Structure 1
Amino acid sequence: MSNDDPTNPFAGLEDQLKLTPQGARAELLDKARRGFCPIRNTFVQHPQAAKIRPSVLARFVTSRQERALDAFLLLHALQPILENEPYPMGTWANLLSGRRPCSTPTASKAFSTLEDMALISRRRDGHRVILTPLREDASGNPWIKAGSDAQERDGYFVVPHEYWTNGYADRLRLPGKAMLLIALKETQGDGHQSFEMALDRAFEWYGISERTAERGFNELNREHLLLTRIQRVANPKLPPGVYQRRYHRALREPFSTIDRKTLQDAAKTRVTATTERK
């Protein structure tokens, strides 16, 4: 029977043999049904009381582990669906392909890096690899979803799934990804739509060089993701008419504080509706 035969019950059916990495990510992320991924603040920076502020993110940047950072973020974004449906490493290789193709050995190496950093544990189950997240601070402690324990003191920020589905994960390079995560952390929650950061504080606060921070902000500007306001402030140590400059930055759609709150509110509404139906 041909596809044109009106008596053919399978008319119009065609093989669908190609799914792009971006399309595969979008389809799987849709199953997570949240629209965002929560990450603890301690992944980016230790609390103010800590003697050393830089945290795990700095280790990815200084060791140039962009692929491993992508693997870390995607693994968290795909929770909890991975708990019951682990993927073969070839699937991860496809999901992690983008600006640079990712082979199966390369994907495996990225997860080995995460294992060495005490960010995941992994074990084999036939052809599948069971990847289990550990605490985002690289302590090796068991992981639970950020925000799920009301007694937990660690704050968290959220990464909208548009990071993956709109191609930002493919277009941004490591400096841009690092500064996006920093900006997300610093602008999470009511009253924190912008943050102040001088480039020369990047290393002290986040363990990232001034040059890397500058390159990262430039990448975000090229993607039209960043707003900047330079505030001039009088300083008694400076001559009259000479002002100190303070750089205030905010994220634009789809990563703005308001956009993220909208995603979180929608997720809460869905959970409430599901609970009431039960």
Structure 2
Amino acid sequence: MTQQADSDAEEVEPATGDETRAALLERSKRQIALIRREFVQLPPGSPQRASVLSGFVSHRDKRALNAYLLLLAIGDSGPGASGPNTRLPLAVWARAFDTDLTTTGPSATAAASKVLTRLEDRKLITRARRGRERQIQVGLLREDGSGEPYTRPGTGNQDRFLALSNDYWTEGWHEELDLPGIAMLLVALHEKPGFRLPAEHAPRWYGWSADTTERGFAELVDANLLRKDSRLVKAPLSPTGLAKVNEYRLLPPFAPRQKAPGRASPRKSSPSMSTRRRGSAAATRRKATQ
């Protein structure tokens, strides 16, 4: 009996990063993360329009950007000293941030700690150890990097926020998209449907290169997340009197919703993508241990 019990225990695999994030999202009871528009771009009249997002892009810090987007999605409803907060063991943070995919044990938790440090340095979170288990409590600060306390969106001010669907996590887009694609997804959520964004304006408007903008748009179009419509318009100063313009519109699951969603359980992940991502993660772990 004891040998059989030991054998059964050995066959149980630990929770994955996907499963950890799914549990956190389910606990939050929200379908979307509302993110202040100032995270993507500062308001008109500001000395410069580039905001906090440009720092993640320029430093190629996809992991920290994803970590922050997750924190905005899962922040507990109860207010803490610096706004909504989430308290977890550091090993759980490591799984949630996927730092355990290429390393294990203390190295994975050290990598997760470094991610949190980078978010602290950007004045987006606070961090403290709490309780006898010395869990890591992460509190949110205002998304503009000012270090001011975080406040949740209230009724009537939804236009000040962009909404990132939990499909970003449950459908695996946080992994499928590279950093340019993630940045331009947030820009597309920030803009109105059918927006125009000449790539050469991106450095002044958002703080990253035209090349990054074009690569991000291409990623989203190839992934069938964004529709690109090209058409000719009158251009009196053009040699031909015409100019080509591109208009962009997000497609499901990130297309703007007609009605603000309530606090409901997140949608279940797509079996095909979840299966593929679990296989990929398992292969990554095997390589890391060889």
8 Å CA contact 1:22–1:98 kept in 2: the answer is no
Give the Cα–Cα distance (whole angstroms) in 2 for the partners of residues 162 and 249 of structure 1. Answer: 20
1:141 is aligned to: 148
CA distance in 2, matches of 1:265, 1:88: 31
Residue 215 of structure 1 deviates from its aligned partner by 1.2
Deviation digits for residues 216-240 of structure 1, max 9, x if unmatched? 1121122110101112111111234
The match for 1:35 is 31
String of CA shifts for 1:193-249, please: whole Å, max 9, x gaps: 221101111111100101111111121122110101112111111234x52121110
Match of 1:20 in 2: 16
Q: Is the 8 A contact 2:125 2:139 kept in 1?
A: yes
Identify the residue that residue 253 of structure 2 maps to in structure 1. 254
The match for 1:118 is: 123
Where do 1:181-200 residues align within 5 Å? 181-186=186-191, 192-200=192-200
Code of the aligned partner of 2:98:
S
Taking structure 2 as the reference length, the TM-score comes to 0.78
User: Unpaired runs of 5+ in structure 1?
Assistant: 3-12, 187-191, 269-278
Deviations 1:59-92 (A, max 9, x none): 1111111111111111111012585751111111
Structure 1 partner of 2:40: 44
Whether the 8 Å CA contact 1:220–1:226 is kept in 2: the answer is yes
- Equivalent residue number for residue 53 of structure 2: 57
1:177 matches 2:182? yes
What's the counterpart of residue 168 of structure 1?
A: 173
Cα distance in 1 between the residues matched to 2:50 and 2:123: 17
> Measured at CA, do residues 55 and 93 of structure 1 come closer, stay the same or move farther in structure 2, by a change above 3 Å?
same
Give the aligned residue type for 1:143: Y
SS at match of 1:86: strand
What amino acid is aligned across from residue 77 of structure 1 in structure 2?
A
8 Å CA contact 1:158–1:184 kept in 2: the answer is yes
| Alpha-carbon separation, structure 2, partners of 1:84 and 1:237 | 54
Q: Tell me how far apart the structure 2 counterparts of residues 227 and 16 of structure 1 sit (CA, whole Å).
A: 43
Output the amino acid matched with 1:249.
Y
Residue equivalent to 2:138: 131
In structure 2, relative to structure 1, the CA distance for the partners of 1:99 and 1:159 (3 Å cut) is: farther
State the shift of 1:26 in Å: 1.5
Out of 149, 157, 162, the position equivalent to 1:157 is: 162
How far apart, in 2, do the equivalents of 1:266 and 1:154 lie? 16
Counterpart residue identity of residue 228, structure 2: T
Corresponding residue of 1:220: 220
Shift in alpha-carbon separation, 1:21–1:153, aligned structure 2, 3 A: closer
Residue pair 1:232, 1:244 contacting (<8 A) in 2 also: yes
In structure 2, stretches of 5+ residues that fail to align are 3-8, 79-83, 265-290
Structure 2 distance, partners of 1:172, 1:246, is 25
2:110 maps to: 105
Quick one: higher RCO (CA 8 Å, sep 6+), 1 or 2? 2
Alpha-carbon distance in 2 for matches of 1:185, 1:85 = 26
Which residue does the alignment assign to 2:76? 80
* Aligned equivalents of 2:99, 2:66: Cα separation in 1: 11
Please give the root-mean-square deviation of Cα atoms over the aligned residues, in Å: 2.6
